[in-house]
């Protein structure tokens, strides 16, 4: 950062550390033992799509890349009501979170490598609580941090459970300290009650 940036109050944005996604399997063990949350096998990457042939080819190639892995998860590309695109990766429940995180990492790095990193918003790994409610662990691409999202119904969320998850994961993952960045990801794939 230069002198003028410092004087004008400008800061460099924190760089994404996509390798932080590989910390999710350990965090999953913590969530299961402390709060009874188990991975559903579902995850997704959210980004703002771009127009043009290059982007369409990149999107097609990354879907084929994920489908060609040894356990061939189900992969879908969908849009939401807010203009964002989601690449959904669905694996069998109980198949472990490691393969899911590897697939989600591959989606992010593929988009990044082709110059579409600025359009990346977040990555979501879905868990289920003992009552069958789905809970999201959200990785904010531009911040390099995680936060929990617990939808309870249309435009409603469980802030108390989100704080409990945050506290359980403090030593496991880089947690987003600014609660104003804990955005609601209504309509995210894999989250029931989030529409």
Q: What is the pLDDT of residues 42-66, one digit of tens each?
A: 999 999 877 778 888 888 888 888 8
pLDDT score, position 37: 96
What is the rounded average pLDDT for all residues in the chain? Answer: 87
Rounded Cα distance between 155 and 31, Å, is: 24
- CB-CB contact of 147 with 180 (8 Å): no
Would the pLDDT of 26 be above 70? yes
pLDDT score, position 195: 39
Residue 36: CB partners within 8 Å, gap ≥ 6? 129, 130
pLDDT score, position 4: 55
DSSP state of 110: H
Give me the helix-helix angle, 98-113 and 24-35, nearest 10°. Answer: 140
pTM for the complete prediction?
A: 0.86
Would the pLDDT of 94 be above 80? no
pLDDT score, position 7: 58
State what percent of residues in the chain have pLDDT above 70. 89
How sure is the predictor about 82, in pLDDT bands with cuts at 50, 70 and 90? confident
Rounded Cα distance between 189 and 44, Å, is: 7
- CATH topology for 15-181 is Alpha-Beta Plaits (3.30.70)
- Rounded mean pLDDT of 151-162? 92
Rounded Cα distance between 105 and 25, Å, is: 13
């Amino acid at each position: 950062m230069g002198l003028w940036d410092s004087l004008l109050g400008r800061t460099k944005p924190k760089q994404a550390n996509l390798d932080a996604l590989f910390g999710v399997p350990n965090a999953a063990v913590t969530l299961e033992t402390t709060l009874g949350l188990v991975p559903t096998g579902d995850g997704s990457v959210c980004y703002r799509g771009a127009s043009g042939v290059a982007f369409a080819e990149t999107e097609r190639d990354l879907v084929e890349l994920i489908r060609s892995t040894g356990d061939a998860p189900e992969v879908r590309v969908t849009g939401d009501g807010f203009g964002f695109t989601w690449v959904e990766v669905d694996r069998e429940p109980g198949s472990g979170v490691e393969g899911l995180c590897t697939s989600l990492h591959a989606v992010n790095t593929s988009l990044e490598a082709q110059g579409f990193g600025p359009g990346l918003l977040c990555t979501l790994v879905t868990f289920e609580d003992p009552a069958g409610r789905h809970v999201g662990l959200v990785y904010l691409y531009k911040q390099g941090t995680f936060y929990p999202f617990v939808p309870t119904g249309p435009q409603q969320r469980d802030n108390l459970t989100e704080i409990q998850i945050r506290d359980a994961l403090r030593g496991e993952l880089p947690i987003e300290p600014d609660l104003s960045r804990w955005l609601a990801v209504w309509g995210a794939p894999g989250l029931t009650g989030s529409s």
